Amino acid sequence: MDSLAALGPLLVVVGAAGYVAGIASPYPGRSFALTALMVGITLLVVRPPSAAGGRQ
C-alpha cells in the first residue's frame, strides 16, 4: 500500500478527532486539527493512480 494512500485517511481521522476535542475543550494549537483535516482530504482526493487502483 502506498504511504500517501494510508496517510490521507489517518490525517482525516486525527484531524476530525482534534477538531471535536477543540470544540469540547479549547486547547493551544487546535488550528492544526483543521490543517490535518484539509491535508488528509487532499491526499484522499489527489492520490497516485496506483493507490486508486488504476494503471501506471
The tens digit of pLDDT for each residue in 1-17 reads 577 778 889 999 999 99
Residue 16 has a pLDDT of 94
pLDDT (0 to 100) of residue 17: 95
pLDDT at 35: 94
Distance from C-alpha of 9 to C-alpha of 55, rounded to nearest angstrom: 22
Q: Which three cell numbers mark 39?
A: 491535508
pLDDT tens track for 21-56? 999 998 888 889 999 999 999 988 887 666 556 555
Looking at residue 6, its pLDDT comes to 84
pLDDT of residue 51: 56
Q: For residue 34, what are the CA distances in angstroms to 1, 20, 53?
A: 26, 10, 28
